[in-house]
């Protein structure tokens, strides 16, 4: 039982009851009851809710018949009440419309980590713990007031000894312990949801919590974020319009990240961009180009490209930052995406759907035909209506439709779907005439050419040359061994006998049927002969025909039993 694990940690159990109380007071009593947890809700909470019932419109759960429907606004409010872990969960789920639905996803995307900053005394102590020296000895100056505060960390402006302006990201005190405790509880709730709420099983709550745990715990290691930033700096080293802040590794630990301080405005701040005298249209195009390089060519992408993580700078330059959450698309996935985009340009619905399905994971309960029908309607609207929607919209909708048909797509592909529709929204905010479909074409061609680029093929050859040489070196010896075995007819095949059981059973059954058919035919002939001698000769008072009939029945029953009986291995 899940409580055994919680009881071993009293703090977790108290936190668990507090979470249930918040959900119950917010009008989520139905959820608590369905998961058999109502007995854990504090009596004070039950009494309060009894005398101060909520208006149905302000309840977390709004029933539609027997169907549980969550209020998107109340989901957001509940997560904010539950603190940093749940705010972060909401921000992650805002990227997973395939799990929570488009309405809740949109509402959760508004969740901001507008949490109170922690004190400078705590900041100073963390710096001392990490570097064995106070900030005044490490930096030329260090601003005590943070420039930004979020659920996991806050950022301070500082200057290095040589005058370089930097941003110092400091992790919240004890945030890892808090998140680990809450994740432990989330796993318990997810297991109960899958057990007692069958309607949620297709969405795999346990898997979703595991993905959230992996992302969040990794995000708490700022060295990982620094490594991600370095990888992006390398990918965009030749692009003068994309800026990735430099990481100062001598002042970076798992709890502190020091990087260049960037002066700019959020990518959706149109008036601020005008003040910078930057071109909104060019910024939009640079942003789309950066995103599609990540998705279609590099495969390593910023998983949360909202305006707060894209800064517009002077000179039409975009700065990307906050690389704690990244995604990865394998080479075969990128090729399938490029094939989808090519099919889109050719208005080839069947080709698009075929390559899109190569990205999906199906099982025996998947409604593939139903999904194909849904997809056909979406693609028809995409390709053949006068007011053509964007392919970003189509990808987003297709991935979300899959969950309802028990067709799963990799989490990174779901992040891709959300990212491209967020990118499109940013582009249209910067440049109202922005046409995603039109701007996509050159990038698809670029990706297509990249896969056929002789230089890339040569680089791949250099990477794998030793494998090829090793294969060629061993080829004569292996060929000689093979030829010798062919001369001696010395080939062995390993067979799992259990796999042949069904074949053997069917073979034995059909063999018995043939034998039975032959014996029955013989008995028929013998009975006919016996009938010819009817009345002429008998044995013990029984006529030959009677003897033949009895023998036929006995033999028939014996062979029928042989057919029914399972053959011995």
Q: Where are the domains of the chain?
A: 2-112, 116-149+152-261, 266-452, 455-489, 497-564
Residue 265 three-state SS = strand
Residue-level pLDDT at 4: 40
Query: What residue has token string 């900041």?
Result: 123
Q: How far apart are CA 272 and CA 530, in angstroms?
A: 111
| Opening angle at CA 535, ends 529 and 538, nearest 5 | 80
Residue-level pLDDT at 455: 67
User: For residue 24, which phi and psi values (nearest 5 degrees)?
Assistant: -65, -50
Q: How far apart are CA 558 and CA 384, in angstroms?
A: 69
| Opening angle at CA 54, ends 51 and 56, nearest 5 | 140
| Residues 6+ away with beta carbon under 8 Å from 524 | 552
| Residues 6+ away with beta carbon under 8 Å from 278 | 312, 313, 314, 315, 316, 317
Query: Distances in Å between the alpha carbon of 25 and those of 90, 277, 410, 482?
Result: 19, 50, 35, 74
Q: How far apart are CA 215 and CA 221, in angstroms?
A: 10
Do residues 430 and 423 lie in contact, with contact meaning Cβ atoms separated by under 8 Å? no
Neighbour count for residue 478 (Cβ, 10 Å): 10
Residues in the chain: 569
| Opening angle at CA 62, ends 60 and 64, nearest 5 | 155
Alpha helices, DSSP H, located in 220-348: 222-235, 270-275, 280-292, 331-345
Report the interhelical angle of 331-345 vs 411-430 (nearest 10°). Answer: 50
String of DSSP letters for 359-400: T-B--TT--HHHHHHHHHHHHHHHHHSSS---HHHHHHHHHH
Do residues 33 and 41 lie in contact, with contact meaning Cβ atoms separated by under 8 Å? no
Query: What residue has token string 């000179």?
Result: 315
Q: How far apart are CA 315 and CA 278, in angstroms?
A: 6
Residue-level pLDDT at 6: 47
Do residues 141 and 159 lie in contact, with contact meaning Cβ atoms separated by under 8 Å? yes
Exposed/middle/buried for residue 229 (C-beta within 10 Å: 0-12, 13-18, 19+): buried
The CA-based diameter of the chain, rounded to the nearest angstrom, is 130
Report the interhelical angle of 436-451 vs 391-404 (nearest 10°). Answer: 80
Picking from 207, 232, 213, 224, the residue whose alpha carbon sits closest to that of residue 410 is: 207
Do residues 283 and 430 lie in contact, with contact meaning Cβ atoms separated by under 8 Å? yes
Reported as type and span, the H/E element at residue 206 is helix 205-219
Residue-level pLDDT at 256: 96
Exposed/middle/buried for residue 519 (C-beta within 10 Å: 0-12, 13-18, 19+): middle
On whether the pTM is more than 0.75, the answer is: no
Query: Distances in Å between the alpha carbon of 385 and those of 397, 437, 478?
Result: 17, 14, 60
Do residues 292 and 440 lie in contact, with contact meaning Cβ atoms separated by under 8 Å? yes
Q: What is the pLDDT along the chain (569 residues), one digit of tens a residue?
A: 444 444 445 567 888 889 999 988 888 888 888 889 888 888 888 888 888 888 877 888 877 667 777 888 888 888 888 888 888 888 888 877 777 777 888 888 777 655 789 999 999 999 999 999 999 999 999 999 999 888 889 999 999 999 999 999 999 999 998 899 999 999 999 999 888 888 777 778 898 899 889 888 888 999 999 999 999 999 999 999 999 999 999 999 999 999 999 998 888 888 888 888 888 888 888 888 888 888 888 889 888 777 778 889 998 999 998 888 888 888 888 888 888 888 888 889 999 999 999 988 888 888 889 989 998 999 898 888 877 788 888 888 888 888 778 888 888 888 888 888 888 888 888 888 888 888 877 877 777 777 666 666 566 666 666 766 676 677 677 777 777 777 676 655 555 555 555 555 655 556 665 666 666 666 556 555 555 555 445 555 556 556 666 666 666 666 666 555 555 44
Report the interhelical angle of 280-292 vs 411-430 (nearest 10°). Answer: 170
Handedness of CA 119, 123, 128, 130 (dihedral sign): positive
| Residues 6+ away with beta carbon under 8 Å from 17 | 40, 41, 42
Residue-level pLDDT at 28: 84
Q: How far apart are CA 12 and CA 188, in angstroms?
A: 11
Structure tokens at 353: 């759907």
Neighbour count for residue 113 (Cβ, 10 Å): 18
Rg (CA), the chain: 35
Reported as type and span, the H/E element at residue 148 is strand 148-149
Q: Which letter does DSSP use for residue 293 in this model? A: I
Residue 444 three-state SS = helix
């Amino acid at each position: 039982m899940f409580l055994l694990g919680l009881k071993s940690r009293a703090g977790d159990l108290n936190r668990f009851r507090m979470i249930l109380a918040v959900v119950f007071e917010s009008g989520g009593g139905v959820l608590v009851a369905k998961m058999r947890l109502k007995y854990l809700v504090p009596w004070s909470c039950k009494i309060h809710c009894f005398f101060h019932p909520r208006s149905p419109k302000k309840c977390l759960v709004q029933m539609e018949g027997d169907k549980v429907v969550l209020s998107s606004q109340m989901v957001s409010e509940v997560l904010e009440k539950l603190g940093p872990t749940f705010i972060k969960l909401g921000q992650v789920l805002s990227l997973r419309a395939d799990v929570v639905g488009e309405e809740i996803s949109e509402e959760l995307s508004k969740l901001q980590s507008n949490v109170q900053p922690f004190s400078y005394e705590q900041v100073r102590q963390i710096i001392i713990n990490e570097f064995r020296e106070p900030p005044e000895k490490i930096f030329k100056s260090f601003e005590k007031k943070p420039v930004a505060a979020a659920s996991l960390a806050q950022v301070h402006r500082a200057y290095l000894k040589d005058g370089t302006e930097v941003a110092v990201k400091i992790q919240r005190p004890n945030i890892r312990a808090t998140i680990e405790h809450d994740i432990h509880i989330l796993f318990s709730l997810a297991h109960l949801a899958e057990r007692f709420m069958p309607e949620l099983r297709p969405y795999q709550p346990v898997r979703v919590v595991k993905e959230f745990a992996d992302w969040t715990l990794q995000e708490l290691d700022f060295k990982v974020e620094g490594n991600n930033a370095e990888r992006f700096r390398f990918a965009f080293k030749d692009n003068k319009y994309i800026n990735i802040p430099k990481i100062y590794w001598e002042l970076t630990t798992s709890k502190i990240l020091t990087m260049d301080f960037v002066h700019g405005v959020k990518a959706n701040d149109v008036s601020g961009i005008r003040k910078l005298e930057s071109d909104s249209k060019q910024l939009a195009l640079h942003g789309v180009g950066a995103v599609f390089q990540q998705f279609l060519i590099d495969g390593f992408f910023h998983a949360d490209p909202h305006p707060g993580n894209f800064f517009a700078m002077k000179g039409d330059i975009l700065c990307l930052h906050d690389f704690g959450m990244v995604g990865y698309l394998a080479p075969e996935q990128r090729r399938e995406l490029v094939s989808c985009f090519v099919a889109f340009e050719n208005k080839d619905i069947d080709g698009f759907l075929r390559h899109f399905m190569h990205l999906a994971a199906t099982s025996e309960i998947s409604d593939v035909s139903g999904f194909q029908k849904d997809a056909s309607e979406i693609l028809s609207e995409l390709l053949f209506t006068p007011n053509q929607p964007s392919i970003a919209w189509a990808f987003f909708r297709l991935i979300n439709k899959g969950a309802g048909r028990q067709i799963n797509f990799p989490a990174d592909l779901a992040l891709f779907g959300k990212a491209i529709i967020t990118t499109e929204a940013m582009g249209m905010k910067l440049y109202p005439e922005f046409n995603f479909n039109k701007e996509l074409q050159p990038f698809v061609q670029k990706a297509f050419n990249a896969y056929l680029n002789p230089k890339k093929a040569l680089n791949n050859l250099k990477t794998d040359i030793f494998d090829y040489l090793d294969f060629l070196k061993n080829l004569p010896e292996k060929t000689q061994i093979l030829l010798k075995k062919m001369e001696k007819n010395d080939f062995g095949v390993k067979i799992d006998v259990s796999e042949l059981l069904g074949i053997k059973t069917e073979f034995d059954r059909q063999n018995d049927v043939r034998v039975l058919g032959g014996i029955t035919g013989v008995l028929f002939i013998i009975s006919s002969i016996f009938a010819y001698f009817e009345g002429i000769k008998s044995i013990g008072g029984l006529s030959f025909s009677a003897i033949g009939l009895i023998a036929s029945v006995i033999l028939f029953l014996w062979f029928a039993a042989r057919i029914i009986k399972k053959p011995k291995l």
